[in-house]
Amino acid sequence: MAKLFQHGTLAMLVDGLFGGTLTAEALLEHGDFGIGTAEGLDGEVIILDGVAYQALADGSVRILEPEAMLPFADVNQADFEGHVVLPEIEMSEVDATLAKELSYQNTFVAIKISGLFSRVQTRVVKGQQRPYPTLSETAAKQQIFDAQNIKGTVVGYYSPKLFHGASVAGMHLHFIDDQHQFGGHLLDFKADQVKLSWQILDGIDLSLPIKDSEFMKHQASDVRDIQQSIAESE
């Protein structure tokens, strides 16, 4: 079975450690499917079929350059072992729908949903400059985008509560359309006739930026503060 490769932690982003510490090229050596964000919290990264796309706050989507730096990302080698075709599904129903197919609450699961979406709402954070704000402070600067009747793919993960802080407990989903012109962090969707695929991951390979002096000297926030900040930014 495959493992989840994660660079950085969500707790780092909560405290404003937005500096890039891994190149896109190096990240893609560990997987061809995943999500993340670029240096400075600049947009939302969606990795699909081995290509890293960056959804930007101006509404555009571009391919991330190999030398682009990321502070946080999750990837795995896609090998989806299960799927179900659904006539319709909403974002709030993904957890319960997946639970009908398998038991997964204590492990990581890669999730892919492809097909026709009658409604999609995403958000994208504008790139920040040093001195970086905290994650919750960027929430007021995020851009909200809506699309209707669009074909595309949901890319993301379920992470168990045990790892909250290292990652987002529960569902963390991004979206990109088939034309690679619309994407971002998913806030909501309603889909018609889609294929929900899953891949159970049997562990996590956590990469920490130990050569980054800012990270090595940083005193992390209290766990409760981290949880609150995550909730405010979602």
Q: What are the structure tokens assigned to 19, written together?
A: 């500096």
pLDDT beyond 90 at 74: yes
Beta-bridge mates of residue 183: 176
pLDDT band of 225, cuts 50, 70, 90: low
Q: What are the structure tokens assigned to 117, written together?
A: 């979406």
Query: Is the dihedral angle over the CA atoms 83, 171, 95, 103 positive or is it negative?
Result: positive
**Backbone dihedral angles phi then psi of residue 33, each to the nearest 5 degrees:** -145, 130
Rounded to 10 degrees, what is the CA torsion of 233, 22, 105, 155? 70
Contacts of 194 (CB under 8 A, 6+ apart): 85, 86, 89, 113, 114, 115, 116, 117
- In tens, the pLDDT along 4-60 reads 999 999 889 988 999 999 999 999 999 999 999 999 999 999 999 999 999 999 999
> What's the mean pLDDT in 71-76?
98
Given this model, what pLDDT does residue 165 score? 74
Given this model, what pLDDT does residue 150 score? 98
pLDDT beyond 90 at 175: yes
- In tens, the pLDDT along 123-163 reads 999 999 999 998 888 877 799 999 999 999 999 999 998 88
pLDDT beyond 80 at 231: no
**Backbone dihedral angles phi then psi of residue 222, each to the nearest 5 degrees:** -60, 150
Given this model, what pLDDT does residue 139 score? 78
Q: What are the structure tokens assigned to 87, written together?
A: 């006539």
Given this model, what pLDDT does residue 226 score? 52
Given this model, what pLDDT does residue 162 score? 85
Beta-bridge mates of residue 60: none
Query: Is the dihedral angle over the CA atoms 194, 34, 14, 132 positive or is it negative?
Result: negative
Q: What are the structure tokens assigned to 128, written together?
A: 């920040």
> What's the mean pLDDT in 162-191?
93
Given this model, what pLDDT does residue 229 score? 57
Given this model, what pLDDT does residue 224 score? 60
Residue by residue, DSSP assigns 166-227 as TB-SEEEEEEEETTSS-EEEEEEEEEEEEEEEEEEE--EEEE--TT-HHHHH--PPPHHHHH
Rounded percentage of the chain residues whose pLDDT exceeds 70: 94
The helix (H) or strand (E) run that includes residue 63 is strand 61-63
pTM: 0.94
pLDDT band of 223, cuts 50, 70, 90: low
Given this model, what pLDDT does residue 135 score? 87
Kind of pairing between the strands at 143-159 and 108-124: antiparallel
pLDDT band of 196, cuts 50, 70, 90: very high
Residue by residue, DSSP assigns 80-107 as --EEEEEEEEEGGGHHHHHHTT---TTS
Task: Using CB atoms within 10 Å of the CB of residue 103, give its burial: 0 to 12 exposed, 13 to 18 middle, 19+ buried.
Answer: exposed
pLDDT beyond 70 at 91: yes
